[in-house]
């Protein structure tokens, strides 16, 4: 950042001191200089336009330089920015300087400041602010990247449905809500029986076409608020939350089965009929609390029972 682009605020209750410092900075090539006669005015200026460097007198009425520093650091934290702060001081004791640095001051200058030293210190402070702001921006971009990756990590890449981590996260949240508010949770696990043989006969591309269509059918068969996810290669899960425990009806699961069985799946290899096995576990909020894994295991056992018995499509 060039000296012309630098935003500087001089804060001093003495007009003469403000004018002298501004003249020295202007001579050194710093043009973006504003002046405030109090710390409160400086804070207002920063809110209107951010500053790269603050030059403030330590001793001021109402709010001194250290109090101003604390206010600026609070604003920086809220906005995710960094402002370099230099205090002018008549103190020459080490204890004062240690206190200033502990409060977040970046540098100090004895009054009256030497013009050449003033320009050099301002330049160094501007570099500190620029480096800190670059790091903060990099951190923000990294957070966005992490959020995007987390979002991708919760989505099945083939179907666009949620994946198992997504499903477990939602199931845990629904179970907590159900146990707290005496609601009910229906967990259904659905497996297409013929998918393995279709894989052998037609390959992964055809299987993927079926899985995509299967997800769409499931989505149409349930309520918009119900959660659907692909757990394993051939198992989808559905979470149905009922605010009233007695609202659950097996007909909701039977509707899902009908949606799967009523017509063949259209694929590049032709129309392929499939049937489903469904395992269902229902949790009532007035029962003892269970974990998402425990509920999932219970539903899996029922799915295994439905899979092994060809006469049963649904096991509750």
Note the pLDDT tens digit of each residue in 77-113.
888 899 999 999 876 667 778 888 888 899 988 888 8
- Return the domain boundaries, the chain: 8-150, 164-315
Please tell me if the domain spanning 8-150 has the same topology as the one spanning 164-315.
no
| Biggest alpha carbon–alpha carbon distance for the chain | 96
Q: Say which CATH class 8-150 falls into.
A: alpha beta
pLDDT at 150 over 90: no
pLDDT of residue 268: 96
Sign of CA dihedral 117, 121, 122, 123: positive
Looking at every residue in the chain, the average pLDDT score rounds to 91
HSE toward the beta carbon, residue 142, CA cutoff 13 A: 6
Share of the chain above pLDDT 90, in %: 69
More confident of the two residues 5 and 164: 164
Distance in angstroms (rounded) separating the CA atoms of residues 114 and 134: 30
What lies within 8 Å, CB to CB, of 90 at 6+ separation is 58, 59, 110, 111
HSE toward the beta carbon, residue 156, CA cutoff 13 A: 22
Classify 242 as helix, strand or coil.
Answer: strand
pLDDT over threshold 80, residue 2:
no
For 291, the enclosing helix (H) or strand (E) is none
**Matching residue, tokens 């146990």:** 179
Kindly tell me the burial class for residue 253, based on how many C-beta atoms sit within 10 Å of its own C-beta (0-12, 13-18, 19 or more): buried
Span 164-315 CATH architecture? 2-Layer Sandwich (3.30)
Q: What is the pLDDT of residue 1?
A: 53
Name the token pair of 108.
């100090």
pLDDT level of residue 226 (50, 70, 90 thresholds): very high
């Amino acid at each position: 950042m060039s000296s012309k682009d630098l935003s500087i605020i001089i804060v001093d209750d003495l007009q003469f001191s403000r004018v002298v410092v501004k003249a020295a900075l202007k001579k050194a090539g710093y043009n973006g200089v504003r002046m405030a006669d109090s710390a409160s005015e400086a804070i207002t200026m920063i809110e209107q336009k951010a500053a790269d460097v603050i030059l403030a007198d330590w001793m001021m009425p109402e709010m001194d330089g250290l109090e101003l520093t604390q206010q600026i650091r609070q604003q920086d934290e809220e906005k995710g920015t960094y402002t370099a702060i230099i205090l002018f001081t008549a103190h020459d004791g080490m204890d004062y300087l240690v206190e200033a640095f502990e409060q977040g001051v970046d540098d100090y200058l004895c009054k009256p400041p030497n013009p050449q030293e003033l320009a050099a210190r301002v330049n160094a402070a501007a570099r500190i602010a620029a480096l800190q702001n670059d790091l903060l921006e990099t951190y923000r971009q990294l957070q966005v990247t992490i959020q995007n990756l987390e979002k991708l990590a919760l989505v099945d890449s083939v179907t666009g449905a949620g994946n198992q981590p997504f499903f477990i996260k939602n199931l845990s949240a629904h179970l907590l809500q159900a146990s707290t508010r005496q609601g009910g949770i229906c967990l259904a696990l659905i497996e297409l029986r013929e998918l393995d043989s279709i894989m052998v006969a037609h390959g992964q591309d055809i299987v993927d076409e079926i899985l995509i269509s299967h997800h769409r059918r499931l989505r149409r068969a349930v309520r918009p608020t119900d959660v659907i996810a692909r757990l394993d290669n051939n198992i989808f899960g559905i979470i149905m939350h009922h605010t009233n425990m007695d609202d659950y009806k097996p007909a909701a699961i039977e509707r899902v089965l009908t949606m799967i069985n009523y017509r063949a799946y259209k694929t590049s290899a032709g129309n392929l009929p499939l049937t489903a096995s469904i395992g269902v576990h229902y949790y009532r909020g007035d029962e003892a609390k269970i974990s998402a894994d425990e509920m999932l295991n219970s539903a899996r056992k029922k799915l295994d029972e439905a899979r092994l018995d060809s006469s049963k499509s649904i096991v509750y």
